[in-house]
Amino acid sequence: MAEAPRYTISNTLFLWFVADPMQPRLVGELKLVSAGKGVSLEYAASWLESGFALSEDLPLVAGEFLPRDKGMAAGAVDDARPDRWGERVIQFLDKPKRLSLMEFLYFAGDDRFGALGVSTSRDEYLPRRNGPLPRLDSAQALSVIVAKIMAKESISAAERRMATAGGSFGGAKPKALIEIGRAEWVIKFYNGEPVDLPLVEHAAMTLAAKAGIRVAETRVIPLAGENAVAVRRFDRLNGARIHAISAGTALRALVGTGQTPDLGYPNLAQLLRRAGPTADGVNALQMRELFRRMVFNILIDNTDDHEKNHALLFTEPTRWGKLSLAPAYDVLPTNSGQGMQEFGVGADGRDSTLVNAMSQSALFGLKTDEAAAEVLGVVGVVNTWKKHFAKCGVSGADIDDLAQRIDGDELLAQRSGFSVQTHAVAPAPPKRSRFQR
C-alpha cells in the first residue's frame, strides 16, 4: 500500500470502509461544512450500488448528508473522530496549522474505533499511518510519554514515534493502543485519583460479568508505583474490523434534525427489539442484558454511563439493523454519589433508583416479575462487591472510600429493601419520557 502524502489543509477528504484492511472500499466524500460547523458525507456511486447505510440517518441514497449539530460529523462518521484525549494528542504531536474537525478526523489515523478510515485520496486508501503498535513491555515507557503530553513537556523523537503509534484513541482519560498477544488493547492511564482506578475498573468489570453482563476483557498492567488497566478491543476480530457506532449516534438517528433524542436505556432496548438479530431470539436476550447493565450501573454508583459508553456492532452490515449490543466497557464506580445517571433510566428520567429502573421494564421485553428477578440477581452479585474487589487487589482503604457511596444509605437501602412482592402488581403502561443529559 502506498505511503500517504504529507497532509495539507483541505476541505475535502474521503471515507473508506476497512473491515478487511487488505481490501478497503471507498464509501464517499467528506466535506467541511461552511464556517467549520462540521463535516458532511456524500456516498460514492460505487458504495450506493453495493454498500450499506452506515447509520440510520445516512440511508443509502444519493445526496449530501449534513451534520446534525455544529462541530459534529454526519451520522456514524462522528464516531470515527477522536474525543478530548485524542484531540489533545493530535494538537501536541501533529500541531496541525488548522484545527477543524477535518484535521481531527484525518490525524486520528488508521486504528480508530470501528471499521471506517479517512484518506486523502478517493482512488486509494491513504490514511495517516501510525506505525506498528507498542507492545506490552512498552507500557511503562508509554505511561511516561503520556505524563509528558499532559504536562506539555518536550519529548524525544523515539518517544514521538511511540506516541504516534499508540494513536489518538477517543475518550477523555489518557489512553493508548497497545499489542498484547497479537491482539489490540486499549491501555488506560490514571494519576492523581483518590483511589487506584485501574484496579477498581478491573474489579468492577469482572464483577459485572458475574451479574450476567458481557464485558470487554480487562487486565491490570503494573507500572512503577502505579497501575494501568488494559481493555481488549471488541471492534477487532481475527484481523478484521467491525463497523460499530455509539448508542448516541444510533438514538440520534431516530429523530429529525433539531429534535431532542431520547438518550436512555429504554429507548436503546427498543432499538435492539426493532433492529436486532431476531431469528434466534438474540435481541430479546440483549434487551434483558441491557436491563441488567442499567441496574448494575445504578447499584455500583457508575453514573458516567453516557451514550458514548454504550456501543452497537453491525453483525450483518449489508442488512440495516442487524445490530448487536457490544460488550460493556468503562464500567466502574464514579464514586460521586450524585444519584443521577447520564443515560435515561425510566419514568423518572435519570434518577438512580430501582423504582425508576422498574418503571419501564416492559420496554425491555420483561414482565414485572421477570424484571424483579433480574434486579434481585444483580443485587445478589453487588452484595459481594467488597470481597470481590479485595480479591482483585483493591486496597482496604480504597474499598472503605468506595463503600461510602456503594454502601451508603441511598444505595444500600435500595439493595436491602427490594423484593419481588414490592413489584408484584404490574405498573401502568410505560410512559415514553424524554431523557436529556
Q: Which residues pair with 324 in a beta bridge?
A: 313
Residue 58's closest CA among 36, 70, 43, 46?
43
Which residue ranges in the chain fall short of pLDDT 50? Answer: 320, 425-437
pTM for this predicted structure: 0.92
Range(s) within the chain of domains with CATH label 3.30.200.120: 136-237
Q: Closest Cα partner for 164 from 191, 186, 142?
A: 142
The string of pLDDT tens digits covering residues 280-319 is 678 889 999 999 999 999 999 999 999 999 999 997 776 5
At residue 191, the pLDDT reads 76
Crossing angle between the packed helical segments 396-406 and 197-210, to the nearest 10 degrees: 60
Overall fold of domain 240-423: 1.10.1070
Helix (H, G, I), strand (E, B) or coil at 358: helix
The residue with cell 499511518 is 129
What distance in Å separates the CA atoms of residue 289 and residue 291, rounded to the nearest whole number? 5
pLDDT score at 168: 62
CATH fold, domain 136-237, is Phosphorylase Kinase; domain 1 (3.30.200)
pLDDT of residue 132: 84
> Residues spanned by CATH 1.10.1070.20 within the chain?
240-423
Query: Which H/E stretch holds residue 260?
Result: none
Query: What pLDDT shows up at residue 169?
Result: 66
